[in-house]
Copies of this chain bind each other. A is one copy, B any other.
Amino acid sequence: MSDRHTDKTLTSSGYYVSQEAPIHTDDPVPTPSVPAPDILRCASMEIVVTDLAASRAFYVDVLGLTVTEEDESTVYLRSIEEFIHHNLVLRQGPVAAVAAFSYRVRTPEDLDRAVAFYTELGCRVERRPEGWVRGVGDSVRVTDPLGFPYEFFHDVEHVERLAWRYDLYTPGALVRLDHFNQVTPDVPRATRFMQDLGFRVTEDIQDDAGTVYAAWMRRKPTVHDTAMTGGDGPRMHHVAFSTHEKHNILAICDKLGALRRSDAIERGPGRHGVSNAFYLYLRDPDGHRVEIYTQDYYTGDPDNPVITWDVHDNQRRDWWGNPVVPSWYTEASLVLDLDGDPQPVVARTDDSEMQVTIGADGFSYTRRDEDEEMPDWKKGEYKLGHQL
């Protein structure tokens, strides 16, 4: 590795740790002069679906989310440990897309801060004291400088936390909304902006030249509330729910097989290198990607080590070295502006993670600095790459 890594310490597991997120941008969004709102956590996502009945069947009958409330055009869903009104809103609409990444803030006053923060940046900002969706009161929605639609709220209807209602659990019970994942062309620029918004980087993927392929960042003390994945954007890569244990995730796969819906499984199950969590990626009836996720680690100390993975490390995305399917790199959901129109997608100009790892000129290794060739049966992403 080059000198760019001199401020990083190589660990016995093959990744680097450092104190400051080693991400620099030459094209920053200006840092507002006013304080950012105090964000508690990612709280819900509103997605537009083209066939509400099909989506409801997927999220309720297959995945077991709880319906808090619904009408002809909208379904409000929550996970089993949640005490606020919803973690996911399905809204019938003409084009599958994301209407809002919604964050809960600590106090009502943080909404004023959100308005000031984004207004100073010249963003479109709209506040509705009665809320944009049911169950949520005074809310602010913005289109941020990266083109993503956010919602901020504090006031919310409480519902019963069903954590003790084991009579309602399914074998694959989803217990929490864990995080979002966003696709954006310029990861350093996006990361820097999110740092201004108060997020802390926990992990990232880079190469020796300093190209950043993805970065994970958090408010609550888990590995992330959201991540920025390099690619054509703004788009939504996935929304993730947690289970308690790994077998719960396997049970979701088993059930999809039993329902002859195994083609909803896009990638996994597997163990992430990044985050150390166990994962599964599904695609809902509109192709919106949903991750099922469990068991990352505590990141709440201010000096929590930032982990940097080498993009060529074949265990960064899957600790077991199983290949990432190409669709996982290339496909994502559109996001909407505040009028409900899809945001234009801007192409990434930095190197593509897929191309540098599995493309014709890409490479990945299991053991750093090893000359011996991978065995035939496990060329992993290489092999796929050569076939593209």
Contact = CB atoms under 8 A, between A and B. Distances in A.
Q: How large is the interface on A (under 10, 10 to 19, 20 to 34, 35 or more residues)?
A: 35 or more
Contacts of A161: 11, 17, 297, 305
Contact of A283 (B160, B298, B375): B375
Given A276-B164, A380-B263, A319 B257 contact: yes
B255 A287 contact: no
Interface string A327-340: 11001000000000
Interface stretch (A26-34, A50-58, A264-272, A354-362): A264-272
A265 B378 contact: yes
A250 B246 contact: yes
B298 A176 contact: yes
Interface stretch (A122-130, A165-173, A204-212): A165-173
Interface in A241-290: 244-247, 250-251, 253-266, 269, 271, 273, 276, 278, 283, 287
A218 to B, nearest CB: 12
A14 B260 contact: yes
Contact of A257 (B256, B261, B271, B301): B271
B253 A163 contact: no
B322 A220 contact: no
Contacts of A374: 263
Contacts of A327: 376-377
A256 B320 contact: yes
Identical copies of this chain, number:
4
A291 to B, nearest CB: 14
A138 interface: no
A293 to B, nearest CB: 13
A346 interface: no
Contact of A165 (B13, B167, B298): B13
Given A41-B298, A167-B255, 4 more contacts: A107-B302, A166-B255, A247-B247, A283-B378
Closest 7 CB pairs of A and B: A262-B321, A166-B254, A327-B377, A387-B387, A257-B319, A13-B164, A263-B378
Interface of A: 11-15, 17, 40-41, 81, 83-84, 104, 106-107, 158, 160-161, 163-171, 173, 175-176, 220-221, 244-247, 250-251, 253-266, 269, 271, 273, 276, 278, 283, 287, 295, 297-298, 300-305, 314-315, 319-322, 325, 327-328, 331, 366-367, 374-378, 380, 384, 387-388
